[in-house]
Amino acid sequence: MVVQIEELDKCDDEDSLQEEKRILRVDLLSQLRSLEDKEAAMLKQKVRVQCLKEGDSNSKYFHSKLRWRRARNDLVGIRIDGSWCEDLHHVKSQVKWFFERRFEAPQVCKLNLDGVRFRFISEADNAWLCNIITEAEVLEAVSQCDSSKCPGPDGFNFFFLKNNWEVIGKDVVKAILYF
C-alpha cells in the first residue's frame, strides 16, 4: 500500500495523475491512516493489559516503574526568597507551610442557605427516572463512549463491547439491571 502511495505521489509531482488515480490515492491514504490508528490503539491496549497483569505484582516491571516514579517525584530542594535551599528540614517545613496556607478554609465568606428555596423534581420526572433501563438505552450509552477509553477491571474496553454487542449485550444489560 505504501509503495502504491509513493508511486501515485511521484506521478502527482509530475502533474500526470489522472482523476481516478487521485481518488485512489486519497482512498489509500485514508486506509493507511485507519490502519495506523488501529495499530496505535492496539499498542495502547497492550500497554494497558501489561499494566493490569504486572502493575501491582512483585515483578521487575513493577519495581522499574516504582523507581522511575520515585526519581521523578524526588524533591531535592526548593527556591526560598530567591535562594536555593537543600536542607531537608527547612524544605519540609516550607512545603508544609505552603500547602497549609494554600488549602486553609477562607475566613471571609461562610455559605448561608437560610431562605434558599430548592426546586423539587416532579412526580412525572421521578417516575421516568425510576423506569427500568432498556437494552436500547444501554447500547446508546455504550456507543457514545470513546472506543479506546480505559478498560474495566476485566480488561475489556468500549471497543470490545461495541464490536461484540450481539453476543454480550443481553448480559451487560442484565448486569446493569442487577446493579
Domain annotation covers residue 45: yes
pLDDT digits (tens, 9 = 90+) for 65-106: 788 888 888 888 888 888 999 888 888 899 899 999 888 876
Query: CA-to-CA distance for 89 and 47, rounded, in angstroms?
Result: 39
Query: CA-to-CA distance for 158 and 164, rounded, in angstroms?
Result: 10
Domain end point (choices 51, 73, 95): 73
Range of the domain at 167: 123-178
Torsion angles phi and psi, residue 85, rounded to 5: -125, 130
Query: CA-to-CA distance for 20 and 11, rounded, in angstroms?
Result: 13
- Helical pair 19-54 and 60-73, crossing angle rounded to 10 deg: 100
66 and 129 both lie in a single domain: no
Domain annotation covers residue 66: yes
- Cell digits for 78? 526548593
pLDDT digits (tens, 9 = 90+) for 126-162: 998 888 888 889 889 888 988 887 777 777 788 888 8
Please state the domain count of the chain. Answer: 2
Domain annotation covers residue 98: no
Which H or E run includes 74?
Answer: none
Query: CA-to-CA distance for 28 and 1, rounded, in angstroms?
Result: 7
Write down the pTM of the prediction.
Answer: 0.33
Domain annotation covers residue 148: yes
